[in-house]
Amino acid sequence: MSARVLMVQGTGSSVGKSTLVAGLARALVRRGLRVLPFKPQNMSNNAAVTLDGGEIGRAQALQARACGVPPMADMNPVLLKPQGETGSQLVVRGQRVDTVEARHYQSRKEQLMPQVLQSFKNLAAGADIVLVEGAGSASEVNLRRHDIANMGFARAVQAPVVLVGDIDRGGVIASLVGTQVVLQPEDAERIKGFVVNRMRGDPTLFADGMQFVAQKTGWQALGLVPYLPDVHDLPAEDAADLMDTLRARRLQGRVGDTQPEPRLRVVVPILPMIANFDDLDPLCAEPGVEVIPVMEGEALPQADIILLPGSKATLADLACLRARGWAERIVEHAQKGGVVMGICGGYQMLGHSVADPHGTEGPPCTAQGLGLLPIHTVLGDDKKLEYGKGFLDQGGQPVVGYEMHLGHTHRPEGFTPLLWLNGQAEGCVSGNGRVWGTYLHGVFTHRAARLALLERAAGAAFAPEGIWAQAGQTLPDTHDGVVDAALDHLADHLERHMDIDALLALASPPVYAA
């Protein structure tokens, strides 16, 4: 199979590259093409487990879903997972290999290019077209040496590039034209067309702007894409996108008469190292649930459930929980009968202690947890990456998802599990049944399990015959159905507002540098 390649780069971070690639992938698959996604280098703590036992960025897993194929480690051969201001966990072809500082990583990229190219070749061997997503900004000339994420990769395989700018943030003309100005001529020549994303209002008001950019750069104008609210049903890639999504969903929940008044408030403390936060998406989509993010400097409001999501650095986020005064409030909430739930790193925080004897997250130490579950966690170098399938211990509703964590959690004899996973008891429930914890990312994916857990917190209002029926809405049996519907709407949207035929014509077979 002779694949073609097309690379999508951006004028900056969060201009919509990941979403556009996902939408284009779904549109091209519907045209009968075998499409595969690829991102040479990603930086994100929102990761996904692959069927071949690795991990990749959540955006590439979403793009794989758009293509109708399982996620594979080759789709994102280099993943950086930030653990602080200057350091990141380095994942290469799905496996954690090191912890690196930003300055030292720059000189290491040259050594990673062969593995990046091998992953790309593996994908290209089985595709009609590979859609490649760049990282950050194409114009980061200070990082151009040994670059593997943007023009360095594009030059290595002679990939044509489409540049995306975000009109919603302002200055899109200058960012597009300015990218051409600052790039090396050989890099600028790789750009063949441009897209302006997230247009709000009358698109005819920017017709002159599209023409100006095309004339100034010589690039082909491939589309002015209006803002699409449906993208908020897709998993967010980073915490900034998460906050935008949560705000948008809360606003949508207040508009119109078709949405029921929120009956259950799920408060989520947003900690610096929050990870795998797409666990929140099914709750956000559920009628009658209001997911309330709480940021630094804010007090935790009244809640039915306080939910601690995953964390890339459990000890650092646990210390932050105490420093912000949230730990005391969470314990008080539980003591008064409120529900507290933790997923992965949040689960670890709910126990009596978290020990790091080998310095996995920093200097060796042991920290006191919130003491709400009878568990003790010991961090280590071994990382569990595994899909799981099972059912809730109470009620038997199906659950499915994955585990992605370092270390082991020890539970007492006779503990009550939250669920059974791959035939084994998993998670833990407090003696009064009001505090729950699990390592399973995706515990809310199946709607039956989600409603059962919400019903435990709020009573019969969240039984299937309760608020679901009153809302006059039906949701798919799993949240994956919501995501697939959003991908279809996105593909329809791009078919209307982009010249996909012209974009396809730009794609060409890769040519590897000698």
pLDDT value at residue 459: 73
Band (258; pLDDT cuts 50, 70, 90): low
Helix 479-497 to helix 17-30 angle (10° resolution) is 90
pLDDT value at residue 501: 97
169 in a structural domain = yes
59 in a structural domain = yes
CATH number at residue 343: 3.40.50.880
CB neighbours of residue 334 within 10 Å: 21
Residue partners of 379: CB distance under 8 A and separation at least 6:
314, 315, 354, 355, 356, 357, 358, 360, 361, 406, 407
Report the percent of the chain where pLDDT is more than 70: 91
Q: Is the pLDDT of residue 255 over 50?
A: no
Q: Is the pLDDT of residue 239 over 70?
A: no
Residues 191 and 98 in one domain: yes
Active site residues: 344, 441
The per-residue pLDDT for range 263-282, each reduced to its tens digit, is 799 999 999 999 999 999 99
Residues 244 and 379 in one domain: yes
**286-295, 369-378, 426-435: which has the minimum mean pLDDT?**
286-295
Residues 257 and 192 in one domain: no
Residues 329 and 385 in one domain: yes
Residues 333 and 219 in one domain: no
- Cβ 373 vs Cβ 339: under 8 Å: no
Q: Is the pLDDT of residue 257 over 50?
A: no
Mean pLDDT of the chain, nearest integer: 91
> How far is 453 from 457, CA to CA, in rounded Å?
7
> How far is 151 from 309, CA to CA, in rounded Å?
35
> How far is 80 from 41, CA to CA, in rounded Å?
8
- Cβ 431 vs Cβ 220: under 8 Å: no
**Domains identified in the chain, total number:** 2
Beta bridge partners of 427: none
Choice between 86 and 507, residue whose per-residue pLDDT is larger: 507
The per-residue pLDDT for range 444-486, each reduced to its tens digit, is 999 999 999 999 988 766 665 555 445 445 788 999 999 999 9
> How far is 499 from 40, CA to CA, in rounded Å?
26
Q: Is the pLDDT of residue 81 over 50?
A: yes
489 in a structural domain = no
Q: Is the pLDDT of residue 395 over 50?
A: yes
Residues 168 and 293 in one domain: no
Q: Is the pLDDT of residue 14 over 80?
A: yes
Residues 222 and 252 in one domain: no
Which residue from 67, 490, 449 is spatially nearest to 283, judged by alpha carbons? Answer: 449
pLDDT value at residue 85: 59
511 in a structural domain = no
End-of-domain residue from the set 227, 246, 281: 227
End-of-domain residue from the set 227, 256, 275: 227
pLDDT value at residue 87: 78
500 in a structural domain = no
pLDDT value at residue 472: 46
Q: Is the pLDDT of residue 225 over 60?
A: yes
Residues 114 and 155 in one domain: yes
Residues 210 and 358 in one domain: no
> How far is 8 from 191, CA to CA, in rounded Å?
9
CB neighbours of residue 459 within 10 Å: 12
Domain of 267, in residue numbers: 238-481
For the chain, the first-to-last Cα distance in angstroms comes to 22
395 in a structural domain = yes
**135-149, 225-239, 385-399, 460-474: which has the minimum mean pLDDT?**
460-474
pLDDT value at residue 98: 86
Residues 141 and 79 in one domain: yes
Residues 242 and 223 in one domain: no
CATH number at residue 191: 3.40.50.300
Residues 326 and 470 in one domain: yes
Report the percent of the chain where pLDDT is more than 90: 80
212 in a structural domain = yes
What's the distance, CA 77 to chain centroid? 16
Two structure tokens written together for 281: 């998406």
> How far is 315 from 348, CA to CA, in rounded Å?
9
Residue carrying the six token digits 């459990």 = 314
Q: Is the pLDDT of residue 254 over 50?
A: no
486 in a structural domain = no
What's the distance, CA 124 to chain centroid? 24
- Single pTM value for the model: 0.91
